[in-house]
Amino acid sequence: MPGTAAALPQILLIGNGAVAAEVRAAAKRTGLFAIGAVLVRPARVAQVQQELPGLAVIGDLSALAFRPVVAVECASHSAVQAYGPALLRQGTDLVVVSIGALTDDGLYAALHDAARDGGARLILPAGAVPGIDALNAAMAGGLDSVRYVSRKPPAAWKGTPAEQLLALDTLSEPAEFYKGTARRAAQEYPKNANVAATVALAGLGFDATEVRMIADPSVQANIHEIHAAGAFGDMHLTIRGRPLPGNPKTSSLAAYSTIRAVLNRVRPVEI
């Protein structure tokens, strides 16, 4: 049964975009946790405070007036860098949605060491893709190969190096324009970095995970495929996700898996 707001576990929400809006809605809907504060860029505090009456909006960690049960980053690479190590070092568990940031080995090491030293946990949700639990579990028996395929309509690749490799406006057949490591994929195609990094971190790492990217005029949606083989057998997963109303670039499942990560901290049963 939902408790009163004062008695609920309080989270710190970093960011005020499409994913954050879903997490705020889930707090209301489930009644299982409350938003203790929303951390935004300092220049935006006054404006966001007007948009979110009744919530504490802060521009810096020094203004945090409570101990969050978990902090949830749903902002950007720079936010992971700015707040992640400090929160973990002070013992606050952290959910990172901008997982592409972890392609930066230095930042990953900083977060890892801060979590170890602070006795906190760095929590990486599955985000936009399925099978991350199975992929990571399969590591226990040994994985032989992991491949992530990103298939999008040609227009969705505009503004990326694919523009130099393909005639995106006149493409009549599917064209694979990238095949290589997850590390190079995340570096050259940062907009694809979240999923490539999640698959790499759950499985064989950035250098042994193969990524392929395809511009496909026959599809309307962004399609993610994960193929893996190992001692467990083999798996082949496809997801055709719907975007969030608040941000057409973000899959709704990325928000829902963030909510799941929070719920797993506050309910008695973790699944």
Ligand X SMILES: NC(=O)c1ccc[n+]([C@@H]2O[C@H](COP(=O)([O-])OP(=O)(O)OC[C@H]3O[C@@H](n4cnc5c(N)ncnc54)[C@H](O)[C@@H]3O)[C@@H](O)[C@H]2O)c1
d(CA 210, CA 227): 10
| Structural contact between residues 213 and 154, judged by C-beta atoms closer than 8 angstroms | no
Figure out which of the listed residues 15, 68, 131, 154 binds ligand X, where binding follows CB under 6 A.
Answer: 15
Q: 91 or 246, CB closer to ligand X?
A: 246
Binding of ligand X by 11 (CB under 6 A): no
Figure out which of the listed residues 11, 13, 19, 215 binds ligand X, where binding follows CB under 6 A.
Answer: 19
26 contacts: CB under 8 Å, gap ≥ 6: 259, 262, 263
| Structural contact between residues 237 and 253, judged by C-beta atoms closer than 8 angstroms | no
| Structural contact between residues 98 and 194, judged by C-beta atoms closer than 8 angstroms | yes
Binding of ligand X by 79 (CB under 6 A): yes
Q: Which residues are catalytic?
A: 224
Binding of ligand X by 250 (CB under 6 A): yes
Binding of ligand X by 138 (CB under 6 A): no
Figure out which of the listed residues 192, 194, 209, 252 binds ligand X, where binding follows CB under 6 A.
Answer: 194
Number of residues that bind ligand X (CB under 6 A): 29
- Write phi, then psi, for 213 (nearest 5 degrees): -125, 135
d(CA 245, CA 77): 22
Binding of ligand X by 57 (CB under 6 A): no
Binding of ligand X by 200 (CB under 6 A): no
| Structural contact between residues 237 and 130, judged by C-beta atoms closer than 8 angstroms | yes
| Per-residue CA distances from 123 to 43, 71, 91, 207, 246 (Å) | 28, 10, 13, 22, 24
Binding of ligand X by 26 (CB under 6 A): no
What part of residues 217-246 is at the interface with ligand X (CB under 6 A)?
246
Binding of ligand X by 259 (CB under 6 A): no
**Interacting residues with ligand X (CB under 6 A):** 14-20, 39-41, 74-76, 78-79, 82, 97-99, 127-128, 194-195, 198, 246-247, 250-251, 254
